[in-house]
Amino acid sequence: MSFGASGIGSHPGEDHLEALRTVFGELPGLPYLPELPGRGVGADMVGRTASLLVDLPVEVQPSGWRLASRPGRDHRRAVDHLARDLDGLEEVAEGYAGPLKLQVCGPWTLAAAIELRHGDKMLSDPGAVRDLTDSLAQGVADHVASVRRRVPGVTEIVLQLDEPGLPGVLAGTVPTASGFGRLAAVEDWRVEQSLRLFPGAVVHCCAPRVPIALLRRAGVRAVSLDASLLSRRDEDPIGEAVEAGVDFFLGVVPGVDTRLPDLKVIAKPAVELWERLGFAAEELQNRVVLTPACGLAGASPAYARLALSKLRETARALQAG
C-alpha cells in the first residue's frame, strides 16, 4: 500500500469541480471523491450516505435525519448532490488510471444519527441496525459499480467508512433522541460482525479512543486516525494491528487553517511512532498513508490545497529516504 498521501474527504466551498481538480492535482497517488457539506442539506456526511441506502428513504426533521415512508425532497436533494459529483468525477478523471478512494458514513455513526419513523435513533433497535447495515452494504456496492463504469481507468477502489461516532457507540454515551438519556453500549462482536460486510475497508475515526484492537479483529484493511490524539496506551494495539497486516492512515496536518511547518515536522509523528514500535524504517512508506487530521470542510480553499500539497511532498520525502 504505497499510496503516500491522501485526504479524509470533506472540502470547503460549493464548487465540486474545483475540489475535484485540487484532489487529482495534489494527490496523484490516491485521489478521492471529495464531499462539500457547505452546499447544505443532503451534502452532509449523513445525508450523502443515506442517499445510497436501498429501500430506506430518509427525510430531515427539526431533530435531524429520520426514516421516511417514501423518498421526498430531502432524499432527492441528497441524490442530486451525489449525481452531480459523479458527473464531475467523470469529467475531471477522464484518462486517469490508478486507485480511487470513496468515503461513506459507517453503519454505526449512521445508526446513531438517523431516527426511526416513530421512535428513537436506529441505534436503539438491533434489528433496525441490521437492516441499515445490509442496506448500506448493498448501496455501497452499487455506488462502487457506478464509479467503475464512469471512470474505467480506476484500478482499485479504496472504501473508507467514516465512523467518528463509533467510540461513543461502544461506550454507551450516544444520547437518545430526546437528549435526556443515553443509549446502551453496543457489544464489540456486533460491531465486528457488521464491519465484515465491508471487506477491505479503511475505517476513519478522528475522535479519541479509536477501538484499534476491535477494528483489527474485524479484518479492516487500514485504520485512519488523528495522530495528535494518540497516547502511549494506543501503541501496543497499533503494533499488534501492523503485525496482523493492518495499515494506517495518519492525520499529521490540521484540518483548519494554520501555518504549516516544514516537511520534517509534518512527518515527525509518523516517523517517531514507527521508531517506537520497532518496525523497519523502510516499511513506513508501504504501511502508512499521510492525511489531514480530519476533513477540510472548515478550512479555506487555499489552505486545503496547500495542506494536500504539503502531504504529497512529505510522503515523497519519506519515500526518498
Residue 10 within any structural domain of the chain: no
Question: What per-residue confidence (pLDDT) applies to 55?
Answer: 95
Instruction: Give the pLDDT confidence of 151-205 residue by residue, as tens digits.
Output: 999 999 999 999 999 999 999 999 998 888 999 999 999 999 999 999 999 999 9
Question: What per-residue confidence (pLDDT) applies to 39?
Answer: 95
Higher pLDDT, 318 or 2: 318
pLDDT-derived band at 319, boundaries 50, 70, 90? confident
Cα-based distances in Å from 284 to 200, 239, 270, 277 = 20, 13, 8, 11
Q: Is the whole-model pTM more than 0.85?
A: yes
User: Which residues, listed in sequence order, are joined to residue 197 by a DSSP beta bridge?
Assistant: none
Residue 150 within any structural domain of the chain: yes
Instruction: Give the pLDDT confidence of 6-54 residue by residue, as tens digits.
Output: 999 999 999 999 999 999 999 999 999 999 999 999 999 999 999 999 9
Question: Which among 27, 52, 23 has a CA at the least distance from the CA of 35?
Answer: 23
Residue 169: CB atoms within 10 A of its CB come to: 25
pLDDT-derived band at 118, boundaries 50, 70, 90? confident
Question: What per-residue confidence (pLDDT) applies to 100?
Answer: 98
Question: What per-residue confidence (pLDDT) applies to 106?
Answer: 98
Question: What per-residue confidence (pLDDT) applies to 3?
Answer: 81
pLDDT at residue 2 tops 80: no
C-alpha cell at 52: 445510497
For helices 301-320 and 16-26, give the axis angle rounded to 10 degrees.
20
pLDDT-derived band at 1, boundaries 50, 70, 90? low
pLDDT at residue 130 tops 80: yes
Residue 135 within any structural domain of the chain: yes
Q: How many domains does the chain have?
A: 1
Instruction: Give the pLDDT confidence of 89-103 residue by residue, as tens digits.
Output: 999 999 999 999 999
Return the ∠ at Cα 123 (arms to 117 and 125), rounded to 5°.
70
Residue 48 within any structural domain of the chain: yes
Averaged pLDDT for residues 129-142: 98
For helices 263-277 and 301-320, give the axis angle rounded to 10 degrees.
50
pLDDT at residue 81 tops 90: yes
Q: Which domain holds residue 266?
A: 16-320
Q: What are phi and psi of 237, to 5 degrees?
A: -60, -35
Residue 39, domain CATH? 3.20.20.210
Q: What is the mean pLDDT of the chain?
A: 95
Q: State whether residue 253 is helix, strand or coil.
A: strand
Residue 11 within any structural domain of the chain: no
